[in-house]
Structure 1
Amino acid sequence: LNLIDENKIDGKFIKNLDHGCGIPDKALFRKELPLMLEKLQGRKSFMQENSISYPCGNKVFTFKDVGDKFELEIKD
């Protein structure tokens, strides 16, 4: 954990030290999405209608869009 003083925040990416650090979603995705996609490259994901599954280790995580919520199913 790297603790910083609030006066050291540049305001460009991290805006404040509140929960979420005031980071805009767009900026977060612009910064982190390419790294996440690179890590997932070559992995198998199984897309079905209204759900997507990701194998990880010896488990499969399936996210389902059910009505107005998402459900997570974890299979060994």
Structure 2
Amino acid sequence: KELNFKVEFFAISQVDNKFIKNLNHGMGLSTKLFFKKHLLQILKEPLQDKICKKEVSYKCDELVYTFKEENHQIILNITN
């Protein structure tokens, strides 16, 4: 609550072994099943206070490749 996250906690005994298979990183969760079950709920969340940029960055070795859209053009910026 202090960090403004919406979270529910469950006991280990509540793991259903169908949707969530284990408690390791990733929980053995099927990404396809996750989105099938929760995508509509995620999309209905209000976008207030969320910043959305039209850019993506990829790090490769010592360089960072940043692609962004400006004036209907894709701009590439390479930094190290």
Q: Compute the TM-score of the two structures, normalised by the length of structure 1.
A: 0.49
Greater fraction strand: 1
Find the structure with the greater CA-based Rg: 2
TM-score scaled by length of structure 2: 0.47
